[in-house]
Structure formats: structure tokens, C-alpha cells
Amino acid sequence: MENANYSVGLDIGTTKIVAIIGKENEYGKIEVLGIGRSKSLGVHRGVVNNITQTIRSIQQAIEQAEENSGLKIGSVVVGIAGQHIRSLQHSDYITRANSEEVINEDDLENLCNQVYKLVMLPGEEIIHVLPQEYKVDGQAEIKQPIGMYGGRLEANFHVVVGQVSSIKNIGRCIKSAGLDLANITLEPLASCDAVLSQEEKEAGVALIDIGGGTTDLAIFKDGIIRHTAVIPFGGNVITEDIKEGCSIIEKQAELLKIKFGSAWPGENRDNEIVSIPGLRGREPKEITLKNLSKIIHARVVEIVEQVYVEIKNYGHDEQKKKLIAGIVLTGGGSQLNHLKQLVEYITGMDTRIGYPNEHLAGDSDEEIASPLYATAVGLLMNAVENKGRQEMGLEEEKELVLETQEEISSEMGGTRHRKSVFEKWSEKLKDFLDNAE
């Protein structure tokens, strides 16, 4: 059945694709109506490298979610990650025509639009322009300038950049799977929405989302996003190391990692051994758990150290930029035993595992509250918020129509409120996909 009250988040990961259907209940929490997941084929390190297989995997996840909920999926909010994502800091300003009028939405939009004109490297496109703080006539550290008087409006921006081809490939997969693209958002930002509290964002926090193909980092301070990075390693590299180090097949390596893996090599005694059945009648293999955790430890240390370099690049060592709330780990890779202790040991920062249960309705399935689904839940929250904004726009539009009573028939098609820069960008992308038949 088709029902307009629900939204859909679609997480296209390296190891799994998750489609999650939900709606907001009367308490403002997210009620999950159905979930579908499939093995992700055709995605490598967060980037689509086989269109046909990715489409098939998306369709499997969507069908399962539809079956699970009895609902029909039309449009989805999709996350984007991958090693091609980079971010930069940029300052820009506009001089207002009339400083006697107060600053309004249009001024902020003009300023953002100016940032979108930045010249990028060939093949790159700006995905997000996130204002950090504003300056009005030289007065600094203004979080919300609307309603103030001023002639010169300045802002510092956090600009997220990605490869056009990768973005278009995701759009093509969505369209070919018979879905509409409602929005694209950066996966680390979606994960943040799902697992971080406002207090943590104010105090300063680094979110580390360890996925299969990539590890995403997002840093918040004073409630504002300060830094994002995508590190091209994740849980799959650990599985690969176990496979090579123990001379076993990938399936066995993954099982070993999940069941017996530990990021701390001192945990296991020398006499703890796992026996793995041999292939096609060959002798079984015996692997000591101490060896297994040494292999895992070496790779995890490398990943954590790379993330820590990014945290230092942001300036965590400076007193003013200190991340008081420490680190929050999420994603499938965060479930590795003793990872929290290892991260604390390497970085010296307080660490916790992030579960996306804070925003979910009380009767939600326990499985969905796992760090594994943090990004998918964040994307669903983004979809619900988008729908809410659109509905508000519809209300405004209806009032306008009633007031003017002009061109009512043509207004029915354009039921949108003032679009954000990002929505315009999404529409540009949709137009491109429509024409690229």
C-alpha cells in the first residue's frame, strides 16, 4: 500500500546495503516500520564499481524492506562516502545593498551560493556547504545573524567535496532500481545525527564510524561541524589480513574476526586454539587466538592512528579546540572486542560506543539499535526531517494560493517552499540523471 506518512533511508555500504522505512511518532521519536538488508556487491571502499551488481543489491534490500513493512517504497535519502570525499575550510563575504534592512534568509542563501562557485579540481563537485560561524561588520562569533543589522556579512564554511562521477553513479543506481532520489547526504553526518547528543556536539566530540570499506570521521565543537574525513580502510582490511595471515578463505576469516577477534593481543593465552575445517577433505587448520589478535591489533592500530592524525590536524591539542567529550565509535567495525580500550590507550581520549537508540521509539527492534545501523538510522532521520520541511512548505504554499487566488492550477505542480542550496543541488543532479539516458 502507498502511504505518504513514512520516509526511507538507504545506506549503500561496502559490505551491506540497508533500506530502513520509518516515520515520526507523536513523541518525536522514529518508529521503524520495516528494514531490509542485502550483501553489497559492486561497491568497493564506499564507491560504486559495478553498476549492475549494485542495482541488484539495492533491489534486494528494498524488496525485503517492503515485504517486512507491507509498504511501497518510492523515494529514498541516500548516504555518500568513499575515499574521494575531502573537506576544506573557506571564508567568504557579501556586501549587502541596503544595511538599513535586517539580514534575512536570502542574504545567507546568497552567501552560500557564492561558495558553490568555488573552482574545484577537475571532476570534483561541492556536496555540502556548512556555515560554521558568521561575522557581521567585523563582529565575530555570531551563530545566527538573521534579524541583525549590518552591511558586510562574512562566514567561515566547512566545504565537503566529492567526485562528480561517483555521485552520478549512485544516482544512476537509484534510478535504475526504480526509485526516486529525495536527497544525498554525507554518511558521517548521518551517523552523527543518529548517535551523538547535543551536549557532546557542544563540548567537542569526534565520531569515528568504522564501516566495511572506509572509516569516516566527523568532528564537532560548540555544536558546529568542524572537520570531516574519510579514511580508505575499514573492517574488510582486517578480514583480508586474517585471510592472508592464516591462509584461510574470506568467509572463515570474517567468522573468526566476529566470533573470536580482539583488538588487544594480551587478552589470549598461548594455548587457546581454534580449529577450522579444511577445504574439500583437507586437514583442519589450527589457529591460536593469540596470533589472530596480533594480526587484528596491527591493522586496527594503523586505522586508529590515521584517524588520530586527522583529529590532531583539526587542532585537538589546542586548549580552545579540545574535544572534551572525547571519541564516539560506531559502525559495524566498532563491535570488535576491546576496541574501546585500544582507542583510549592510543589517543588518551575518553571513548564510548555509539548506539542509534536515543532517537528510536521505545518498542523498536533491538537489532536496529546496533552500531551497525547507525548510518541507516541517521539517513532515515534525515528523510523524516526533509518530509517535515516539505510539508511545512506545502502549508506555506497553500496559504499563498489562498491569498492570491492566482494560477491555482499551475501552483499545484510547484508545491515547494524556499529551497535550500542543497535541495537545488539535488535537483540539478536529478535533472542530469533524467537526461543521461
pLDDT tens for the chain, 437 residues: list them. 444 688 999 999 989 999 999 998 888 888 999 999 999 988 988 889 999 999 999 999 999 999 988 899 989 999 988 888 888 889 999 999 888 899 999 999 999 999 999 988 899 989 889 998 899 999 988 989 999 999 999 999 999 999 999 889 999 999 999 999 988 888 988 999 999 999 999 999 999 999 998 999 999 999 888 898 889 889 999 999 999 998 899 999 999 999 998 998 876 677 788 888 888 878 888 888 889 999 999 999 999 999 999 999 888 888 888 999 999 999 999 999 999 999 999 999 999 999 998 888 877 777 888 999 999 999 999 999 888 877 777 777 666 545 544 443 343 343 334 455 556 656 666 666 666 54
**Distance in angstroms (rounded) separating the CA atoms of residues 129 and 220:** 15
CA 242 to chain centre: 28
**Distance in angstroms (rounded) separating the CA atoms of residues 127 and 187:** 12
Q: Which three cell numbers stand for residue 362?
A: 521505545
User: Does residue 151 belong to any structural domain of this protein?
Assistant: no
User: Does residue 248 belong to any structural domain of this protein?
Assistant: yes
Question: 235 in helix, strand or coil?
Answer: helix
Model confidence, pTM = 0.85
User: Does residue 35 belong to any structural domain of this protein?
Assistant: no
What is the count of structural domains for the chain?
A: 1
For 276-342, the DSSP string reads EPPGGGPPPEEEEHHHHHHHHHHHHHHHHHHHHHHHHHHTTTSGGG--TT-EEEESGGGGSBTHHHH
Provide the residue range defining the domain that includes 294. 235-299
User: Does residue 292 belong to any structural domain of this protein?
Assistant: yes
Residue 176's Cβ-count burial label (10 Å; 0-12, 13-18, 19+) is middle
Q: Which three cell numbers stand for residue 3?
A: 502511504
How far is it between the farthest Cα atoms of the chain? Answer: 85
User: Does residue 180 belong to any structural domain of this protein?
Assistant: no
User: Does residue 204 belong to any structural domain of this protein?
Assistant: no
C-alpha triplet 59, 61, 66: angle, nearest 5°: 90
**Distance in angstroms (rounded) separating the CA atoms of residues 339 and 358:** 22
- CATH number, domain at 258? 3.30.420.40
Q: Could you tell me how many residues make up the chain?
A: 437
Reading across the β-sheet that carries 7-12, which strands appear in turn?
30-39, 16-24, 7-12, 75-80, 180-186
User: Does residue 259 belong to any structural domain of this protein?
Assistant: yes
User: Does residue 283 belong to any structural domain of this protein?
Assistant: yes
Pairing of strands 7-12, 43-44: unpaired
The backbone torsions φ and ψ at residue 107, rounded to the nearest 5 degrees and listed phi first, read -65, -45
